Chains A and B, each alone.
Chain A
Amino acid sequence: MTSRKKITCILCPIGCKIVVQSNGKTAKILEGNKCKKGIEYAYHEALDPKRMLTSSVKVIHGEWPLVSVKSSKPVPKKYLFDILNDIKQTSIKAPITIGQIIIKNAGKHDISIIATRNVKKVQTE
Chain B
Amino acid sequence: MIHQQADVIVIGGGPAGLAAAVSAKETGAKRVVIIERNTWLGGILPQCIHDGFGVEELGESLTGPEYAERYISRATQLNIETMTETMVLEFTKDLEIIAVNKKGIYLIQAGAIVLAMGCREKTRWHALIPGTRPSGIYTAGVAQGLINLYNIMPGNNVVILGSGDVGLIMARRLTFEGAKVQGVIEILPYASGLPRNVVQCLDDYGIPLFLNHTVVEIGGHERLSHVLVAQVDEHRNMIPGTEKKIPCDTLLLSLGLIPENELTAAVGIALDPTTQGPVVNQDYETSLRGVYSCGNSLQVYDTVDVLASHAQKAGHCAAAFSQGRSNTFKFEKNVCAGKGVTYVVPQKITTYGSIKLTLRAKKPGKKQQLHVKNGETLLFTKKLPYVNPANMIQVTFSLANTMHLSKKDIEVSLQ
Q: Interface of A with B (CB < 8 Å)?
A: 8, 10, 12-15, 51-52, 54-56, 58, 64-66, 68-70, 77, 84, 98, 116-118
Contact = CB atoms under 8 A, between A and B. Distances in A.
Given A13-B388, A15-B195, A116 B61 contact: no
B386 A8 contact: no
B401 to A, nearest CB: 35
Nearest to B49: A68
A10 B200 contact: yes
Contacts, number: 62
Given A117-B46, A117-B69, A70 B51 contact: yes
A-B pairs, top 7 by smallest CB distance, nearest first, are: A117-B65, A68-B49, A65-B151, A10-B196, A15-B195, A116-B63, A116-B65
Contacts of B198: 8
A107 to B, nearest CB: 13
A103 B204 CA distance: 25
Contacts of B151: 56, 58, 65-66
Nearest to A99: B66
B176 interface: yes
Contact of A66 (B50, B149, B385, B388): B149
Given A54-B50, A54-B51, A84-B176, A98 B204 contact: no
Interface in B172-229: 176, 195-196, 198-200, 203-204
Contacts of A51: 200, 204
Interface in B132-188: 147-151, 176
29 contacts: A8-B198, A10-B195, A10-B196, A13-B388, A13-B391, A51-B200, A51-B204, A52-B61, A54-B49, A54-B50, A54-B51, A54-B63, A55-B176, A56-B147, A56-B148, A58-B151, A65-B150, A66-B148, A68-B65, A69-B49, A70-B51, A84-B176, A98-B65, A98-B66, A98-B69, A116-B49, A116-B66, A117-B46, A117-B65
A107 B115 CA distance: 46
